[in-house]
Structures are given as C-alpha cells and as structure tokens.
Chains A and B, each alone.
Chain A
Amino acid sequence: MDPRYIGQSVRRQEDDSLLRGMGKFVDDLAPHGLTHAAFLRSPVAHGRIRTIDTTFASEVPGVIAVLTLADLRPVLTSDRLPVQFKSDGLPPNIGPYILAKEEVVYVGETVALVIAESRAIAEDAVALIDLDIEELDPVTGCHQAVQPGAPKAALDRDSNIFAQFEMGYGEVDQSFATAAHTVSLSLVQHRGGAHPIEGRGVLAHPDSLSGQMTVWSSTQQAHEARGFLIELLGLDETLLRVRTPEVGGGFGAKYLLYPEEVSVTAASLLLGRPIKWIEDRREHFLAAIQERDQFWDVEAACDASGKLIGIRGTMIHDGGAYVPQGVNLAYNAATAVPGPYDLPNYKLSVQAVATNKVPTIPVRGAGYPEGTFVMERVLDGLADAAGLDRIEIRRRNLIPASAMPFSTPLKSRSGSGITYDSGDFHAMYEQALKEIDLGGFADRKAQAAKAGRLRGIGVACGIKGTGRGPYESATVRIGKSGKVTVFTGAMPMGQGLKTALSQITAESLGVDPGDITVVCGDTNTISLGLGGFASRQTVVAGSSVTVAAKAVREQALTIAAGLFEADVGDIELVDGMARVKGTEIQASLKELAKIAGGSPGYSLPTGVTPGLEATEYFMPSGLTYGMGVHAVELEVDAETGAVTLQRYVVVNDCGRAINPKIVVGQIHGGVVHAIGNALFEFMGYDEQAQPTTTTLADYLMPTAPEIPRIDVHLAEYPSPLNPLGVKGVGEAGCLPTAGAIVSAIENALGSKNQLIQRIPVMPQDLFQFIQQGKQTDAA
C-alpha cells in the first residue's frame, strides 16, 4: 500500500499556536510568586577572586537573595559540572564551576546570582556587588596556548592541552613520494555562535503540593539535563522533573546543561520559590557556547590525473576555558575531511587546547563544516596545481555508486566504523551542475563582465553522519479517550519534529496526523531520552515511533479481530476506526482502548494484552550518511571586496523524506547559517580576550536581502540502517557552503596560484587579497 501520510508535506501541527502568539516559551511562564535571577559575570578573561562583597546588593529593595557558590553548597553535591559526554582520557579539572570558586577563566563566567522581584532589580543589585579580582594573564588564542612558557588558562591544570590525538589511515608519507601535484594550506576557520533568536532560559518551580521540583528549560536535552541536575543536587527522578516549553531554536547551544540551570535550580531549592532566568542577548554572546576557531595546516597530494593520494597535517582547536561536553567537536572535524571522496591515505594530528574564552561545543554542523571546508580547499588547490578544471577534479574523486556501501577506515567518536550507507554521489553532482545551468554560466559571466562585475561559480560537496545513537525513546499510546499520543525523549527546537512523528504514527494507526498529540521533553512522561543533536531525531526517534506504532497497530487489530470474529488480515485501521474491509463492521479506537484497558476483576479477551500501548528504544547500528552538493554563483565587487550571492543550488540526500517541505526548510536554514559563517559572522576578542562583538549590530547574522533564492532538490536514497529509510538533514545545509562560496569567489577573480585560506571572508580581507593577486599576476 502506498504511504498515505509519510512523504506528504502535511501542515505542521506546531504552527497554529505559534501563529496566534499562543505558543508558550519559557519566558512566557509566570507562576504565582515568581522571582527573577540575574548573574554577576566575570568582567575579565582570567583572574583570581579576592573577595565578593554582596552587602550593598543585598540591601536593594526587592532583592530576595544574593548567592555565591558558598551559599549554594548546602544543596549541591559538587562545585563543578561533569564533562557531559563520555570522556575517557581527558585531564581532571576541566568541568565548569556552577558559580566561580576562586578563579575566573573567561569573560562572562557566572560568579554570583541575585534573586529579586524583577529582572531589572536583580540587575540593579548585580551592579552593586563588589567583586575584587586580581587579573591574571589570559590565553587569548590556541597557538599561544601551546607555546612554551605560555600562561595557563586555569591554574589548577597541568597543561593547556585538553586532548591530542592522531586520526588517519594508510601510508601517507610514502604516498606523497608518488605525487604528481601537491598543495599546502594554512586554513583558519572561524565559526561563531549558535544565536537562536530565543536565548537560553530556565524556570525552577518547586511545587509544594507534589513536592516535586519542575525545571522548565529552553533546552535540546530534557532527560540529559534531568540526569545531571539530580546528580548535582543529590535528588532522584521522583523529586525533579524537567519540562520543555516551546524552544526558540537551539543550533547546539542548548545541548548542554549550563551553570545557570544548576544554580537557578539550587537557589530555588534553597529559597522555596519559583525563579526564572532568561538569557539576554549579551549573555548569549558572553556565556553560551560557541564553535569559534580551528587552525589547519595541511598538505595534499594527487596523481597526474587529479586523483587524491593523501592528506596530512595538523589541526589545533580552540576549546575555550572548560570542556563541558567533550572534545567531540575536534574529533568530528577530523573525521569529516575525506567527505564523499575516495581518499586513500590520511593522517591528521589534532590538539584541542584551552583558551580564556567561552567553551566551544558543536554548533549546527558540529565540526563537519570545518572538515568539509578543508577537503574542498584541497581539491581546488590540487585542481589549480594540476591545471585541471575544479569541477572535473571532484568528479574524478567522488566515491562511485558501485562502491556503496562504502567503508572508510575511520571510526566515528562512538567507536563504530564510518560507512556511507547509500547514495549515488555522481548522479547528485551532475544534477547540481544541471540545476545551476553550468552550460549557461559562461554567458552569464560574460554579461556580468560587460557591466564591470566579476561573476564566479563554485561547487562543493559534503557528507554528514546523522542519526546518532545509542537510542531514542518513544511510547505510542491510544488512551481510553481514543486519543493517540506519542511520548518521546526527542526534543524539537523548531524542526517540526512533532509533525513528522505524527505522520509516522498516523501511517500505522490510520489516524489523521493532526489528531495525534506528540509530547516531547517531559521527563515525567517517558523515562529515558537523549534529545536533539547530530541531525538524529527523525532517524532515531522516528524509527522508535514507527516500531512502537506498528506494535500498537497489531494490538488494535488483535482486539478488533476478536470483537468482529474476523481474521486480522481482513481488518484495516482508517479514520480512527478498525473496520472489516469492505463492510460497515467497525469499532472506534476508543472502544478498542477500553477493551484493552480491561474491567476490574474480569479477564481480558483471549489474546489481548493490557493497554493499547508500546514503547520502543530504536538503536541504530551506525550513522546514516546524507551527501549534499552545493553550487553557487556570485559576483565580486573587486573595488570593495564585496560578495553578492546570485544563485544557489542544493542537491541533498535525505533518505526517505517524511515531510518534504520540512526537509527543504531545514536545508534552507542550514545553508543560510553557513553563509553567515562564510561571509558575515565573526566573534571578535581583543588582546585581553575581552569579547568585542557583543551585540547583533556588531556580530553580523545574515538578513533577508543578503540571501539569494536557494533552490533545493531532494535526492532520496533510502538508508538501509533504519526501518523508515530516513537520513538526518538538520545540519546538512551547513557543510559545503563555505567551500562552494570561496571557490566561486576565486573563480570570479580568475587569478591563479592564490587560495583564500580564512573564513569568514571579510570585504577588507578580500580586497587586499585581490590587490595581492593583481601584483602576482603582474609579476
């Protein structure tokens, strides 16, 4: 039977309340007796706290409490947060403090918090806390961090190196001996912050009736947050519930339990009052995680035909002041280098180091954009060195469809192998070239040239590992009301996940997706969950839901078969009814649920098990990989260094699309985020590691006029690794963007022997680059 709901762009069930202004975000919640928190944050990048005098702050009318770490200790089991991902081999003393103890290690670190009747009053009081700090030398960059004699980013550590490891396979050094062409690159990659339009936020709400503390958090990970909160507060699952209201975007910044969530909850336990803290934009700049800087020094070699032989080099990653999550970001970046290409030999030495800046963990893309950019630069460099067309060299190196599934010798951070599970990369590549009308480019370039504009084209590819395990939870239940409800530990933050899960459920149960309620991110409704990261939720939670929904379907059919005295095979579930096909013999799901619910003291009908309900924890055997090809045309204003994007084509493999409109929307967003990374967004710090871009007027996110139409084409190569055949797309759009744009800029300029090696490409830098190119061309 053809799917009825899966594959349809059904209307999102999330939209109605949001469009009426009735969606409830964390700052929209205002329980009786609500109080408000504001934080005193470190004004310096590195310092030793002499004293924190809260006398004047405490006297401000409307202030309820001014709290330091010492004040919170009675309800804490630890002064520090743990490293939140499995973290074998990492050094000690790298988890963030809940509030600073003796030392501060980045500007914006939480030092104390004020609880007051209003946020404004809390901020008035914060300004009156007398913080006496002895300034220490900061580590301002990761090259400085590893120099002999460099200051230490934190005094209680032996070294500024969090982790170092080798990544690779093959015989790289020997392979270079056979190279026909080589290229050397020193790539500086900057990715800024996540910047969801809603910042972080938490409301700790102690309920005197139930005795349970409810923590409402704008988070990507309700269950993970609960796990760490109960550990840090010495509570258990019955005493603390995490719930998520609408979440106004996450992009990685909310996949972490932060000091603010812990300290606000601890303060609420101490004071017995509801406390809300809403991150303002300045705080997001100072204290929400970023991705920031990676420095790559790589050499690459190819044979005379342009076939890759090997890549070798080093990468140094700015981890920031703490390691709140792990070094997965650096790891992902290193594993992403081969991408969709057949790279026979690879060796990369990686160092993740400490600086006195806010910690880094994955932002949308999670290191893959950086690894992808390296490979795309390498291919452009080798093409130029070999005198090959840049578009052709990619064709020669893409993994052929005949090699699928293709295993690289690398291991993902979970330890499992990296195997590209399906796809025809060449077909997608050719489709992208066709869609951007490569054949007509020469004419468009000539037309632009007549008007004095430099037009260029660039193509790049990337492949994203999606659907990370180990599992996601889902319960599908038909209650006695007849209502179908899905409970999951998956956590939407704008993706339309509830709609997608309702479609998947509807497919098995024959209920309109709009009539299905999906409950996410509430730890009282399902015991386990991992939440929203790594483009995983439709893959993993979707698979759990489909398995659970099918089980419920079987239960419903069994009951109906007994009721109708018919064969199970003759019964269909449609429009909320179980019906003997082709007859009017039917019963509603509500009736079936009542039967499954039983009656006190009476047996259930033969073969019927209690409840119309099933729970599944789908465990993917490996990541599923979706390839993307981006082709961009742009114009460069050589007099100013300005870049104007003109056309943008994406061909992306999403496996089976559950809701194509949602899938395309995810890719739009990813592309534009990465356009920001390629051309606009830069998080600046001065020589004392003071952030210099702390407003949205200084940190430039792309706005509508800078963005061209993005023409997305979905390739649907089903994944063999999950029952739906889906692949993740949440981050897919971020990967090849910078590579394609930078390549197109060089193509527009037409100069040889120059490669842009730093992103974002700022107009001033590009102008200088053009001037240098002119000199080189003249010489």
Chain B
Amino acid sequence: MKASPFAYFAPGSLQEALDLLGSLDNAKILAGGQSLMAMLNLRYAMPDQLIDINGISDLAGISDLGARLSIGAMTRQRVLERDTILLQKAPIFREALLQVGHIQTRNRGTIGGSLCHLDPAAELPALAMLYDATLIARSANGERALPMAEFPAFYMTPALEPDEVLTRIEFDPWPQDSHFAFVEFSRRHGDFAIVAAGCLFTVASSGTIERAAIVLGGVGAAPMRLTEAENSLIGQVPGKEAFDSAARAAQSIEAMEDSVYSAQYRCHLSEVMTRRALIKAWDRQQERAA
C-alpha cells in the first residue's frame, strides 16, 4: 500500500517546527519514521500534514553534563549504540539497543521517536523508566519537563500536548560500578519482546545491595517499574536467593493480554526475565572479576 497524500514541511529550526505544529491541522511529526512510515504506508495513520524534524540539527546529540546526561530526541539509535560516553556511563543502553529492531531501522530510528511511539515492549521507553529520566517537551509557549513515570498517558500515547515536541531526554547515570542487564524474551531476534526486563543495582562495600531499579517492558500498557522487587533487594547479599525472591514480586503484577499471549504467561515470563536480568548483571561482574 501507498501512503495517503499529505503536505510536507521540513523546518530547519525547532521554532519553525513549533510554529507549524501550532498552526497546522491534523499534523504529525516525522522523526526517524521507523514506525510512522510503516503506519503511513498501511494507511493506519493518515495525517494531512507531515512535519519532518530530521533537518533540525540541534535536536540530535549526546551531552555529558557531569552528573547528568542529555540526549537529543533526534539522536539515532545506532549513534546511541556506539556512543563512547553512553558506553562508559550507561552501558545498559548498548545492551538494550542491540535488541532494538535491526541495523537498518536503528540507522534511522531515534530515541525521541521511540519514546513518543511508546510501544509497550520498546526498549528505549523501558530504559527511560529505569533511569527515572526527565523528558523535555517544547511548544511555542515554552519548555516543560515530564518525569518518565508521567509520560505515558495511555496505551501507545504520550502525555504530550498536540503543539508539543519532545526535544530531549535527561537522566542521571548510575555509578560506574553499577551492575546492569537488559534481557528480552522474543520469538525472533529483533522482534518486540513479549517480555523484556532491565535492571540496575549497586552493591555497597559491605557486600549488600544498596540501590536497585528494575523495569519490565511488554507487560503493561507502558513499561513498568517493579518497585516491590527493587525494595526487596535493598540490604540483601546479591545471589540466587535474593534474586529469586525479588523476581517473585513480578507474579503479582497486572499483565496485559493480546490475541497471542495470555496475561498469565506474561506474568510468568516477567518473573523469569526479572530473575535472568539480575543474574546476568551479577554474573557479568563475577566474570569481569575473574
């Protein structure tokens, strides 16, 4: 199928884009296009106007602000995957990104596009949730910061106003010696996960877990944090017992079902993938030490 007709705008600046967005009816922002273009071609999305923000160069790039990292919304996934700052300060990005689609889609796909498309199983929204990232949106009226927890309004819909553009994402990287893993259960390499789990934790000099974050993707309408499991890890010695116990918290989550996978199966997978993420994170440390 071919896309239905639309008027095309390629603003050179964010201001220009915001002006267009504020003035055009039934307009849609075109970021990397790796979801939107398919939806256009299938005529699932039929905007009258398309505002292409690929030409706005200051929307792309990764900035190290010391304690905080800032990633422009139009930064390509393939750039993130290979970025040395990210690799050093948040290596989980690379681990997760290698599971995002395929080389060809990552070469075009952007972090902002993925966040705004907000597929429940997508890796980048899960990472944003894992890091309690802040999402910065701009409209003609100014800038607004949204915590990731408040970004999903409902299924595949971000809490952005029609005149707002997501411009960047900011988060505090965890300490260098944090443990991390991002694991997925999917049918084929590169498919959206049926369930994905990401984790970060730090271990104090006493040998017990000091801080932990766990996120699940593909389970709810938006990525969800496993707060109960995170809390249960604090003060525990990392290892099978602590991980098993934390993962069990996933049994009580409310998982969604679709035409293929039941809620019960997703719930079970959540436990399995949470445990595997924690084990992988910890084993990697052991391997590095060895």
Chain A contact residues, CB within 8 Å of chain B: 118-120, 123-124, 127, 280, 282, 639-640, 642, 680, 684, 686, 692, 695, 697, 700, 702-703, 705-706, 762-764, 767-768
- B188:A706 contact, CB within 8 angstroms: yes
A764, B188: Cβ atoms closer than 8 Å: no
Beta-carbon contact of A640 and B269 below 8 Å: yes
**Nearest A-chain residue to B5, judged by Cβ:** A124
Contact of B191 (CB < 8 Å), options: A120, A695, A700: A700
Q: Are A706 and B189 in contact (CB under 8 A)?
A: yes
In-complex Cβ contact of A700 among B5, B43, B187, B268 (8 A): B187
Residue in B closest to A641 when the chains form the complex, CB atoms: B265
Contact A686 B3 (CB under 8 A): no
> Could you give 30 example pairs across A and B, Cβ below 8 Å?
A119-B2, A123-B43, A124-B4, A124-B5, A127-B4, A127-B43, A280-B1, A282-B1, A282-B42, A639-B272, A640-B185, A640-B272, A642-B185, A684-B259, A686-B259, A695-B38, A695-B42, A697-B192, A700-B187, A700-B191, A702-B188, A703-B190, A705-B189, A706-B188, A706-B189, A762-B260, A763-B194, A764-B261, A767-B268, A768-B265
In the complex, what residues of A have CB within 8 A of residue B259's CB? 684, 686, 692
Q: B84 at the A/B interface (Cβ < 8 Å)?
A: no
Is B285 in the interface zone, CB < 8 Å from A? no
Nearest Cβ distance between residue A85 and chain B, in whole angstroms? 32
- Give complex CA distance A640, B187 in Å: 11
Q: Mark B31-44, 1 if CB is under 8 A from A, else 0.
A: 00000001000110
- In the docked arrangement, what's the CA distance between A539 and B3, Å? 45
Task: Write the B184-219 contact mask toward A (1 if CB under 8 angstroms, else 0).
Answer: 010111111010000000000000000000000000
Residue in chain B with minimal CB distance to A122: B2
CB distance from A705 to the nearest CB of B (A): 4
Please name the residue on chain B nearest to A680 by beta carbon. Answer: B187
User: Which residues in B have some Cβ–Cβ distance to A below 8 Å?
Assistant: 1-5, 38, 42-43, 185, 187-192, 194, 259-262, 265, 268-269, 272
* Distance of A642 Cα from B15 Cα, bound (Å): 49
Point out the residue from A123, A686, A695, A697 that lies within 8 Å of B2, measured CB to CB: A123
Main secondary structure of the interface of B (DSSP, over half): loop
A583 vs chain B, min Cβ distance (A): 61
Query: In the complex, what residues of B have CB within 8 A of residue A127's CB?
Result: 4, 43
Contacts of B261 in A (CB 8 A): 764
Within the complex, the shortest CB–CB distance from B250 to chain A, in Å, comes to 13
Interfacial chain B residues near A124, Cβ < 8 Å: 4-5
A767 in contact with B265 given A123-B1, A123-B2 (CB within 8 Å): yes
Partner of B188, one of A640, A680, A684: A680
The answer to whether B187 touches A763 (Cβ under 8 A) is: yes
How long is the Cα–Cα vector from A361 to B1 in the complex, in angstroms?
25
**B residues less than 8 Å from A640 (CB atoms):** 185, 269, 272
Residues of B within 8 A of A684 (CB): 259-260
Contact residues in A for B1 (Cβ distance below 8 Å) = 123, 280, 282
Measured in the bound complex, the distance between the Cα atoms of B264 and A768 in whole Å is 11
A697 to B192, CA, bound (A): 9
Q: Which A residues are CB-close (under 8 A) to B262?
A: 764
Given A124-B4, A640-B185, A763-B194, 6 additional A-B pairs, CB 8 A = A127-B4, A640-B269, A642-B185, A692-B259, A697-B192, A706-B188
- Chain A residues in 8 Å Cβ range of B2: 118-120, 123
Cα-based distance from A762 to B187 in the complex (angstroms): 9
A706 and B187 CA atoms in complex are apart in Å by 9
Which of A119, A280, A706, A764 has the most B CB atoms < 10 Å from its CB? Answer: A764
In the complex, what's the smallest C-beta–C-beta distance from B168 to chain A, in angstroms? 29
**Inter-subunit contact B188/A703 (CB<8 Å):** yes
Chain A residues near B268: list those with CB within 8 A.
Answer: 767
Question: B262's closest neighbor in chain A, by CB?
Answer: A764
Is the CB–CB distance between A764 and B187 below 8 Å? no
A642 to B42, CA, bound (A): 31
CB atoms of A764 and B260 under 8 A apart? yes
A124 to B269, CA, bound (A): 43
CB-defined contacts of B189 to chain A, threshold 8 Å: 703, 705-706
Which B residues lie within 8 Å of A280 (CB)?
A: 1
Chain B residues lying within 8 Å of A639, measured Cβ to Cβ, are 272
B265: contacting residue among A282, A686, A703, A764, CB under 8 A: A764
Question: Which residues from B are CB-within-8-Å of A642?
Answer: 185
Do B188 and A700 touch across chains, with their CB atoms under 8 A apart? yes
Residues of B within 8 A of A763 (CB): 185, 187, 194
Q: Among the interface residues B3, B4, B188, which one has the most CB atoms of the partner chain A within 10 A?
A: B188
